Amino acid sequence: MSKFQYLITVSPLGFMYGSAGAFLSPENLVGRSSSKFPPDSAAIAGLFLNANREQKFASHQELRDKLVISGPFWAKQDTPKQFYVPIPWHQVIAEKEDDEWVFVKKKSDEPGIVQADDDKWCLGQHQWERQNKDLKPEYSWQSIDAWNLPAEELRERKAIAKAPWEFVSFLHPKIKAQERHVVEKNGLFLESAVQIPEDYCLVYLSNYEIHSGWYRLGGEGHLVEIESHPLSEKHKINRLLNPKNKIQQAFALITPGVWGSNKLSYRYPHHPSFPRQGLKMLTDKPVPYRYRIGHSRKEEEIEGEGSRYDAKKTGRLSRGRYAVPAGSVYVVKHPLELTWWDFPDEWFPKEGFHLKHLGCGLCLPIDIQGLPQCTAKLTE
C-alpha cells in the first residue's frame, strides 16, 4: 500500500437508496436513506470482492488482504479526476461570507496556560479563535485541486460546491410474498430515495482496477454504471499523500474516521504511538458507521471459492460504530511526520481486516494560521 492507482466512478441509473446497515439513532429513528448516502467505501469493497468471483483479476485472499478503497467523493461526469472532497472544519464558507478558525496566543494570566521557552512555539499556549462565530457553513465540498487554499481564495476560484444529489419521496408498491402482485390492502408506502443528476457521479479511490460495466450495488440491487480511470502519481491526491509531504502538526479528514477497538469508538486513535496529549480538534457530532462483512469463514469454506455468488445471501452485519465525520480537523503538539499510508493498522478497529483498508480516516495535511508552517510545496 503506497498510492491510489485507480479512480472508480459510480453513476446510478435511476434512484438510489440508503444502506440497510444503518442503525437507529435519535436522528434516524425511521431509517431514512439520507443518513446513509452516499454509499460508503465498504459497499464498493463488497462490489469488488463479488465481481472478482467471476472476473478473477486477483485471488480472493490477495484482494481481501491488499484491497484499499476510500471515499465517497463526487465529481462531474466529464471531469471525474477533478473530484470534490469535504471542506475542513477550520474553514467556514457561507453564501456571501467566509471565516476561518485560527490559533491565537493565550494571555499569560489565563488559567491552564502551559509554560514553555520563549523562543519555542507551544500548542498549549494557543487557543482556537475566529471573528464571526455566528456564521454557519453553507458549502461543505471543495475541489481536490484547490486543497489547502484560504477560504477567501476558494470562493474567488469558485472551487466550492454543495452536494448535487437530492432527497425525494415517492409511493412504492408492496409486493405479495408469493406472487409479483401488489397487496390488495395498504399496497403502497412512502419511500425515501436519492436522485443524482445525470451529469454527476460518485467517486472512490482504489489500488485495484475493476472492469467497467453495469453492476448491482447495495442491499436492493440497484443498477449502477462503474468505470475505472487510471490515477497517476502526479494527481493531486497522490501528491498530497506522497511521503515527501508528511503531516506536520495539522491534518483534516476527507472520509469518516473510525478509531478505537471493536467495542468502543473514539474521536482519535487510542494507541501509545498516537500523540494525543494536548490534542486540539474541530469536529461535529459523530455519524453512524456500519457495513456488511460477508459470510463467516465457515460458510466460505463450505461454499468454496469457486462457488457462484448468490445476491440474496447478503452476509452478516458488522458491529455498529460511530465515526468522526469527514472534515474534522486535528492539531497535535509535535510534528507527526507521517502520511495516511504510514498510519499503523493498530490505530484502526479490526473486524476480519483493519478498517484502514476501507479508507477510514483518510486525511491530508493542512495549514492553519497561527501554527508553524505545516506543509511544504507539493513535490512534482
pLDDT tens for each residue of 166-175: 887 777 777 8
Grid cell of 171 as nine digits: 409511493
pLDDT per position as a tens digit, 19-77: 434 444 555 544 444 456 888 898 899 899 889 988 888 888 899 889 999 999 999 99
Q: Which secondary-structure segment (H or E) carries 153?
A: helix 151-156
Alpha helix (H) residue ranges in the chain: 41-55, 60-66, 151-156, 236-240, 297-303
Residue in the block written with cell 458488522: 318
**What's the whole-model pTM score?**
0.85
**pLDDT at position 353, please?**
74
- What one-letter code names the amino acid at 375? T
CB 347 within 8 A of CB 128: no
Let me know: does 12 contact 168? Beta carbons within 8 Å: no
- Hey, what amino acid is at 209? E
Cα(366)–Cα(34) distance, integer angstroms: 29
Cell of 111: 488559567
**Residue 220 has what pLDDT?**
61
- For every one of its 380 residues, what pLDDT tens digit does the chain have, with 9 covering 90 and above? 568 999 999 998 667 665 434 444 555 544 444 456 888 898 899 899 889 988 888 888 899 889 999 999 999 999 999 999 999 999 999 998 999 999 998 877 666 566 665 667 788 888 999 999 899 999 999 999 999 999 999 999 999 999 999 887 777 777 887 887 888 877 777 777 788 899 999 999 999 999 999 998 865 667 899 999 999 999 999 999 999 999 999 999 999 999 977 778 899 999 999 999 999 999 999 988 877 655 544 444 444 444 444 444 555 566 678 899 999 999 999 999 999 999 999 999 887 778 999 999 999 999 999 998 654 455 54
Per-residue pLDDT at 377 = 53
Rounded (to 5) percent helix, strand, coil in the chain:
15, 30, 55
- Show the cell assigned to 297: 469463514
Q: Which residue has the cell 500548542?
A: 123
Cell numbers representing residue 139 in the block: 458549502
